[in-house]
Structure 1
Amino acid sequence: MRLHRNLVFAVIDGLHQIFNENKYADKVVEQLLKRDKRWGARDRAFIAETTYDIVRWRRLYAEIAGAGSHFSRENLWKIFAVWAVMRGIQLPDWKQFYGTPVRRIKGKFDELSRQRIYRESVPDWMDQLGEKELGQETWDKEIAALNRQADVILRVNTLKTNKKNLQFSLRDQDIETTEIKGYPHALKLKERANIFKTEAFQNGWFEVQDASSQLVASLLDVKSGMRVVDACAGAGGKSLHLASLMENKGQIIAMDIYENKLKELKRRAKRNGAHNIETRVIDGSKTVKKLINSADRLLIDAPCSGLGVLRRNPDAKWKLKPEFIEEIKKTQADILQSYSRMVKEGGKMIYATCSVLPSENQQQVKDFLASEAGKDFKFKKENIILASDSGFDGFYMALLEKSK
């Protein structure tokens, strides 16, 4: 591979924004790719994949480069050099690479790889927490799996098409997909591609949604004609899946505290042809009170640490703080206590997170069932998904039923 100056400078600029200005990697990469209209698909792929790769392995590369946690422009170039050397890429004769100690880099990598905090490039506190909650053997496998690049998974929108038709449509644009056993609405891209420019996407034939996430709506056991509340809907990936499972019949009330996310859901719903979704901003306790004892089904896709989706959000390793996890667990408990009141007698509820920590998952459900608010609910089943077992995102979902 030959390094091109303008592409490498774009990566360095992106890393500066992510590490020093605390910007989100996905937003930074999105802006970087708009910098030069002359860049082709390979150029864009280099910028995106290299930026994410260095973010993912930040601690390891910075330690090898001797940068510590000081990400000056000079140190960012050293870190990039480590990335290139570890991939066998010959460094060009640029002043930024003068004096790069290629042999020492390789030796340092071998030395540091004996320690998990460097081998898996993870903060001390996160490594300790993962081992404490999952055990050493499971955490070893899980953090390794969470450091692999995520596949691109599509969910077929059955309101508009089916798997075969979608596959044929994408194949016409040289995008090949494969089915995934056990995931009835999922297709996996064989190679990464800009699928958002395809006619199939513009026509609402699919959404990008990880395979683990697709299991949530299916577990809720919705039927056409039901009233379903998606209480932490966000931009609505699961609301859209619910609409397709309900064949657009019945009512889905998608709620969130962020109005801008619900506006995005409305736009997506229009493209998907999902007509049974109503959005409501949660601007106080009255929003929930109006729906007490009225929902046939309730989905609580709770805010969480996001430790199950580090594959697609590697910068979360460096943005997360231990105190945030403690606070988010209190929020999860409060949401369960309050929102569960919306379920009517005989109705069902799912509590889900994209975390792999039992303290955010099984323990929250156990505590809820032991509380006054949870005394009328019975535990039905749960799905504990580890990235190391499934190959997809880490996820948790528990199905509870309210007594009649």
Structure 2
Amino acid sequence: MTDKKEQISAREIALGILMDIVQNSNFSHTVMSRTLNQYQYLEKQDRAFITRLCEGTIERMLTLDYILNQYSSVKVNKMKPLIRNLLRMSLYQVKYMDQIPDSAACNEAVKLAKKRGFGNLSGFVNGVLRNIVRDTKKVSFPNEETEKEFFLSVVYSVPEWLVKHFLSQYDYTLVKSMLEASFQDKKTIIRCNTDKITVEDLTVLLKQNKVTVEPGTYLPYALKIWDYNFLGQLNAFKKGYFQVQDESSMLVGAVSGVRSGDYIIDVCAAPGGKSLHLAELLKSSGHVDSRDVSEAKVNLINENILRNGYTNIKAYVTDALILDEESIEKADIVIADLPCSGLGVISKKPDIKYNMTREKQKNLVKLQRDILTVVQQYVKKGGTLLYSTCTVNIEENLENVRWFTEHFDYRMESIDEFLPSSLLCDTSKEGYIQLLPGIHNTDGFFIAKLRRKN
């Protein structure tokens, strides 16, 4: 273990993660999870440093590039990929990590450049960083009054096309609040498995393991946790006492109106949070079919089913675009939490904002409509379809629901009786709710409840 620590530093691990995410376009949460699993032997402090450095560098990448371009003779997009990412993460330490001495950030960057075979560019790395440290006031940011879109893009590190898209759907103050919320400290949100343990007992157990715990915002079985090292090391997790799930996602189960004995189909279920929640709400009765398109996704659902210990749920590999004749008009409830642009969860997956395009958004709207066309057939007459996404893009949300009710024999149904009073609004009475970061204490999320007509 000691030898491994001497061979590779926390900063070198972070650089490898950034290269994998930025250069190979791999998902940030997947790369982070895989790498931290690989380096479980690291001290809690080192793992926290790697996490903060990587997540922070990705979420602030456009801001960091904007600053670097004002100090470097070579523009960021012309740099060698490794040098570009090394400068980004080093600048992040200088600008956003107050506990890291500037000298340490600079010196370690130079060492890393040499170690990774770029000794000839170590002087360049040193020069750029030292110039920034010496004269931090040189940076000139866009004027918020005269360059609103460019200001939001640079300050909140969001591509300018996406800023314009947000502003076409929401007012400036709201968009700014949403973007600010993406930088807030991220706590892990969990749902207590009340079949196995009470919320109070789970709270005590977690605190005994030195985990900081707070109640959730909206639901009595939701908790916020932080200050743990590795989730998989917690006995409460291994025993299935809780499932990681944002409260916005829990609300799907909460508003479903599930009744004892119901048959439920979750068509795009991985990693299985909603399926598991509904299995719990069924209180050992009924059945949940938890479906997804690949073996890998279904394996993930199965891991969670096994850990949580539910017996009224089964996972299947099923393509939601292909009609399952045997399921037609069989389900009391169909959960359609469909593939989306993910623009409600950029605080957790910041690479989404750089990889999304307008064309991808339009393709996703079509995909959502194609899936809905198929899976709505599984709902019994008088049954319920719950449509949800983790995006704030109106085209994928309310516009899709309006399209759906125009083309199929469904009507929206009020969700007021299932919501906490703090979430009641004009739209919840109509049958849908749009949760927004910075306004609600959740991910950006959309839920619509639709009743099939008899």
TM-score range, shorter chain: over 0.9
The one-letter code of the counterpart of 2:92 is: W
Q: Please name the residue that 2:126 is paired with.
A: 98
Which of 240, 255, 278 in structure 1 is aligned with 2:276?
A: 240
Alpha-carbon distance, 1:287 to partner: 4.7
Structure 2 residue 169 is the aligned partner of structure 1 residue 111 = no
Which of 191, 199, 204 in structure 1 is aligned with 2:227?
A: 191
TM-score by length of 2: 0.83
Q: Tell me the distance in 2 between the aligned counterparts of 1:112 and 1:34.
A: 40
In the TM superposition, 1:3-402 aligns within 5 A as 6-34=9-37, 36=39, 38-66=41-69, 67-70=75-78, 72-87=81-96, 88=98, 89-92=101-104, 93-94=107-108, 95=110, 96=122, 98-99=126-127, 100=129, 101-103=131-133, 106-109=136-139, 111-112=141-142, 114=144, 115-283=151-319, 287-371=323-407, 374-380=408-414, 381-402=431-452
Q: Deviations over 1:103-130 (max 9, x none)?
A: 5763355525851101000112211111
Q: Deviations over 1:7-53 (max 9, x none)?
A: 22222222122111222222322343355565200001101111010
Q: Tell me the distance in 1 between the aligned counterparts of 2:25 and 2:374.
A: 33
Which moves more between the two structures, 65-74 or 151-160? 65-74
Change (3 A) 1:36 1:313: closer
Q: Tell me the distance in 2 between the aligned counterparts of 1:335 and 1:28.
A: 29
| 8 A contact 2:267–2:336 mirrored in 1 | yes
Q: Deviations over 1:142-200 (max 9, x none)?
A: 12212334221111011211101111111111112111242121011153542321111
| 8 A contact 2:391–2:445 mirrored in 1 | yes
The one-letter code of the counterpart of 2:442 is: F
Paired positions, count: 399
Change (3 A) 1:379 1:363: farther
- Over the matched positions of the two proteins, sequence identity in percent amounts to 26
Q: Tell me the distance in 2 between the aligned counterparts of 1:38 and 1:283.
A: 39
Q: Tell me the distance in 1 between the aligned counterparts of 2:206 and 2:42.
A: 23
TM-score by length of 1: 0.92
| 8 A contact 1:65–1:75 mirrored in 2 | no
Query: What is the alpha-carbon root mean square deviation over aligned residues?
Result: 2.2
Q: Secondary structure of the equivalent of 2:265?
A: strand
The one-letter code of the counterpart of 2:309 is: G
Change (3 A) 1:40 1:113: farther
| 8 A contact 1:249–1:276 mirrored in 2 | yes
Change (3 A) 1:122 1:325: same
Alpha-carbon distance, 1:376 to partner: 4.0
Change (3 A) 1:272 1:133: same
Q: Secondary structure of the equivalent of 1:33?
A: helix
Change (3 A) 1:150 1:110: farther
Q: Tell me the distance in 1 between the aligned counterparts of 2:18 and 2:309.
A: 39
Q: Tell me the distance in 2 between the aligned counterparts of 1:233 and 1:399.
A: 17
Return 5+ residue gaps in structure 2 as ranges. Answer: 1-5, 70-74, 111-121, 145-150, 415-430
Which moves more between the two structures, 135-144 or 242-251? 135-144
Alpha-carbon distance, 1:345 to partner: 1.4
| 8 A contact 1:293–1:342 mirrored in 2 | yes
Q: Secondary structure of the equivalent of 1:370?
A: helix
| 8 A contact 1:354–1:394 mirrored in 2 | yes
Q: Tell me the distance in 1 between the aligned counterparts of 2:91 and 2:228.
A: 25
Return 5+ residue gaps in structure 1 as ranges. Answer: none
| 8 A contact 1:84–1:91 mirrored in 2 | no
Change (3 A) 1:359 1:192: farther
Q: Tell me the distance in 2 between the aligned counterparts of 1:231 and 1:38.
A: 38
